[in-house]
Structure 1
Amino acid sequence: MTGLLVHEWIERSGGAERVLDAMAAAFPDAGIQCLWNDAPERYADRTVRETWLARTPLRRHKALALPFMPATWRRLSDGDEYEWMLISSHLFAHHARPRDSGTPKYVYAHTPARYIWSPELDERGSSAVVRAVAPAYRRLDRTRAQEATAIAANSRFVRDRIARTWDRDATVIHPPVVTERILSTPDWRTSVTDDAERRMLEQLPPVFVLGASRFIPYKRLDLVIRSAARADLPAVIAGSGPDEARLRAVATDAGVPVMFVISPSDALLYALMQQASAFVFPAVEDFGIIPVEAQAAGTPVVTGPVGGQRETFTDGVSGVAAASTGPGDLATAISAAMDLPPFIAANVVAPFSESVFVDKIKNFVLGR
């Protein structure tokens, strides 16, 4: 017998998938269970089991699949027995019930589901339908959280939310970040091989602020543009997503140059981070992997005053926390960040490396 890793659903990229990658590295003999797997090549060397939802069109419509998820997690029937389960949960994966009710169940919580517990942080929780069913889901979610043998949170910010929502204590284990990879290349411009991306690098202004994430409203990339305008600095916005048209409209009215870099390669993104004067991250995040990446690239970060991203840097050393996420306060913080003395990137990002995570998650599950 060995362990089982449980994950909501597997995508081709994402912070949660990086956590699962590190869990898989920590426990190379463990099987994997998910609702559905959209990256079958990712774990081709091990057994990955899907649920019945994978055989339906619901796998392409998470919102429609949501009502079926809690019950689905209670009906895992692969027939195997495990010594333990380690669950990566940001929705309902922690509801998973092992075949043997005595099997220890360890939960790594990215967050209790935001749109039923913290709808002010997730627009999906603002719909009338979600608001109507949220009380029942909250009661069920709190009950299922009591089944966990132990819970780990990805930040102190999330640990506090777990205490409020689930009435459980949690150990803080920050998620893994590819810090060693970023630190290994002094100048990422030399690793950019695509001709179009090379031309983008040649067009960069000598001084600019950078914002990078998925283009969705709660990431607040519009505030990166507005704060850059208040600081009278060009902005570069990297990523992709459904909010692109709105962001371009904001950029048109900004009064400063704004360059959009759509779906950059890793090499280009890290090169942008190295060249930026400051990395601006206004979103209220559960943790915030990308600000750690920016620091690994040697660039100071600017964030708002609230959220797990505040745990990724020391104020006044490798970043500045603005007094608020208003454009004026962010602009003031940008100026302060640009005036910071150089910092030693390897030192400030050391606590967030993949190797540190692997050691901590092993100790969390196995006690060693």
Structure 2
Amino acid sequence: MKIGIIHDWLDKYGGAERVITSLDKIISADYYFAYANVMKNKDKLKMFNGKNPDIITSNVLKFLGSYFRIAFPFFPFVTKSFNNQVQKNYSIDLLISSSWCLSKGFRISDEKHICYIQARNFKYIWDEYQNYFPGIFGIIFTPLRKYLQNFDVNMSKNPNHVIANSKFVQDWINEHYKINSTVIYPPVSVQNFNLRTTKISDSEYYVTVGRLVKYKRFDLLIEAFIRLNKKLIIIGDGAERNRLNEIAKNHNNIIFTGFLNSEKISDYIRNARAFVFSSVEDFGIAPVEAQSCGTPVIAYAKGGVLETIVENKTGVFFKTQDVNAIQDAVQNFENILDRFDPVVIRKNAEKFSEEAFITNFRSFLEKNIH
């Protein structure tokens, strides 16, 4: 049996790419495909467990290099062109696609296609349209949006089997694509985060980690912790850094560290009073990593966190995405601090380990590949 794996594009090594790392331990692929490949070799070696395989990419997007995303109005053409390009030279029996945009539309011939949906697909024409096309631009691009939405729905009918990375995404798939899917949670590197069993109340700071981008709402966390006058450490960097610095200026309790290596991140998290999380994520790896350290999580009650956090046992929720709700949640957390057992928190995180992913994915293959 010839097997192919396709990832939307190879850019940076993150949560979606960890899925490929784990799949590579389950499946010995003959071919690897991606619409674009601009990933650094060091990240590629990490992604493919020390290997650096040949990646078959789209001839159309190759000309755009790292600017390949600007071709998104032409993604229907890119998908069709890549399918035609590959059909001429390759033959496979089983395809595993990793999709948050295009890969579900990949098809060479009559191969069996299993699609792992990494997120709400094509978010800039669905849920986040207003963020990418605000005001008058949103009105002008409405016809293009409708065209791309129809294209995306048609692509969703292509796989033989669809796997969602959370129940949140499963519900989204059902709502937008009207198709059934199976949930298999993505792999989290639980083993890389050491449990801290000393009393949480010994810690004096809270911590959050992530790319500093608008939708993650770090601004709300900063405002809330300025009002609370509690120490907040923000790990990461991104386009919002200057704006967030401006909000936090003259407030010494808000500390930006920039990018840190995984060992330093782990140290900060396991010694924190709690991990705070204000965005809507399809799964949300960071809150699980925090729980791997035995650190409780204070999170906005929407998205994948509702599946990974047990309220009042491994964390607490705030119901609205605003400053007052975050303040109230932090104060509530401190009132019930003694309820949180680091060992219990760690045990919950282990349900989302790489071992669990590999076991569940293998079981799915055994049931559906004949």
- 1:182 CA drift (Å): 1.3
Counterpart position of 2:155: 144
Residue pair 2:235, 2:256 contacting (<8 A) in 1 also: yes
Counterpart position of 1:6: 6
Distance of 2:288 and 2:60 partners within structure 1: 35
Counterpart position of 1:281: 277
Deviates more, 1:258-267 or 1:345-354: 345-354
Code of the residue aligned with 2:246 in structure 1: it is A
Code of the residue aligned with 1:233 in structure 2: it is K
Counterpart position of 1:219: 216
Deviates more, 1:283-292 or 1:123-132: 123-132
Residue pair 2:35, 2:61 contacting (<8 A) in 1 also: yes
Residue pair 1:156, 1:308 contacting (<8 A) in 2 also: yes
Distance of 1:160 and 1:300 partners within structure 2: 27
- Find the partner of 1:315 among 311, 314, 325: 311
Counterpart position of 2:123: 114
Unaligned runs of 5+ in 2: none
Q: Deviations over 1:159-202 (max 9, x none)?
A: 1110111111111111110002213x769xxxxxxxxxxxxxxx
- 1:62 CA drift (Å): 4.0
- 1:33 CA drift (Å): 0.3
Distance of 2:299 and 2:203 partners within structure 1: 22
Q: Does 1:346 align with 2:359?
A: no
Residue pair 2:232, 2:253 contacting (<8 A) in 1 also: yes
Q: Does 1:155 align with 2:155?
A: no
Counterpart position of 1:28: 28
Counterpart position of 2:112: 104
Distance of 2:290 and 2:133 partners within structure 1: 30
Code of the residue aligned with 2:62 in structure 1: it is R
- 1:278 CA drift (Å): 1.2
Spell out the pairing of 1:1-368 with structure 2 (5 A cutoff). Answer: 1-37=1-37, 38-40=39-41, 41-42=44-45, 43=48, 44-56=51-63, 58-74=64-80, 75-76=82-83, 77-78=85-86, 79-98=89-108, 100=109, 102-110=110-118, 111-119=120-128, 123-126=131-134, 127-128=137-138, 130-183=141-194, 207-252=204-249, 255=251, 257-338=253-334, 339=337, 340-344=339-343, 345-367=345-367
Q: Alignment identity in percent? A: 24
Q: Deviations over 1:74-128 (max 9, x none)?
A: 3333422212111111112211112x2x2111111122211112126x7225443
SS of the residue 2:295 aligns to: coil
Q: Do the aligned partners of residues 39 and 366 (structure 1) sit closer, same or farther apart at CA in structure 2, a change above 3 Å counting?
A: farther
Q: Deviations over 1:23-79 (max 9, x none)?
A: 1222133421001221344243433211114531x2322431213333323333342
TM-score (norm 1): 0.87
Code of the residue aligned with 2:11 in structure 1: it is E
Residue pair 2:10, 2:36 contacting (<8 A) in 1 also: yes
SS of the residue 2:9 aligns to: coil
Q: Do the aligned partners of residues 156 and 130 (structure 1) sit closer, same or farther apart at CA in structure 2, a change above 3 Å counting?
A: farther
Distance of 2:142 and 2:123 partners within structure 1: 12
Residue pair 2:114, 2:160 contacting (<8 A) in 1 also: yes
Code of the residue aligned with 2:132 in structure 1: it is R
Q: Deviations over 1:233-289 (max 9, x none)?
A: 111111011110011011126x56111011111111111101211111110111100
Q: Do the aligned partners of residues 55 and 347 (structure 1) sit closer, same or farther apart at CA in structure 2, a change above 3 Å counting?
A: same
Distance of 1:236 and 1:186 partners within structure 2: 18
TM-score (norm 2): 0.87
Distance of 1:132 and 1:240 partners within structure 2: 35
Residue pair 1:298, 1:343 contacting (<8 A) in 2 also: yes
Code of the residue aligned with 1:113 in structure 2: it is F
Residue pair 2:296, 2:340 contacting (<8 A) in 1 also: no
Code of the residue aligned with 2:59 in structure 1: it is W
Residue pair 1:303, 1:310 contacting (<8 A) in 2 also: no
SS of the residue 2:97 aligns to: strand
RMSD: 2.2
Residue pair 1:230, 1:327 contacting (<8 A) in 2 also: no
Residue pair 2:226, 2:254 contacting (<8 A) in 1 also: no
Aligned length: 345
Q: Do the aligned partners of residues 346 and 235 (structure 1) sit closer, same or farther apart at CA in structure 2, a change above 3 Å counting?
A: closer
